Structures are given as structure tokens and as C-alpha cells.
Amino acid sequence: LAVLRWGENKEIMENTVREFEEKALAELPLVEKKVQEIMNSKNPAQEPLSVNQYLTIYTNDFARAAIQKYNELYELFWTKYARGF
């Protein structure tokens, strides 16, 4: 039964993963540029964020978005299969 359900939901899961992969790849040049700007600053101490702070905030936001999406999928699948397969 699990294989049958995977067949029904495979596209949903793959699309979700693909969304986040594409988002990460699209944002990577911007993230790298910002990190380079911070590192190449003439006075890094006066930057609003250090490289570590910037990357921590970015990855935290990205992870929260992924968690939110997977919570939405949890609700979808729980509702769909609450009464069994």
C-alpha cells in the first residue's frame, strides 16, 4: 500500500524538493555577493552584520521556509490519509 500511495504523492514531494533546490540555486549568487561585500568592506566592524551573522540569518530563514512547507504537506497528507490507506 505504501508503494501505491508513493505513486500518488511522488510528484508533490518531488516538486516541493525541486522548489527549494531552485530557490537555493537562484539565491546563491546573491548570497555570495553579499558575503564578498562584507568580507571586502574597508571597515568590516561597521557592517551591520558579520559574515557569520548574515549566513546564520539566511540559513535560518531558508530552513524555516522549508519547515513551513513540510508542515503544510503534513496537514495535507494527514487529512488525506487520516482514516487509513
Closest CA to 19 of 65, 78, 77, 80: 65
Q: Which of 61, 37, 60, 63 is nearest to 49 (CA)?
A: 37
Q: pTM, whole model, 2 decimals? A: 0.81
The distance of Cα 38 from the centroid of its chain, to the nearest Å, equals 23
Q: Residue 71's Cα: distance from chain center in Å?
A: 13
Mean pLDDT score across all residues of the chain: 91
Position 56 confidence tier, pLDDT thresholds 50, 70, 90: very high
Helix (H, G, I), strand (E, B) or coil at 37: helix
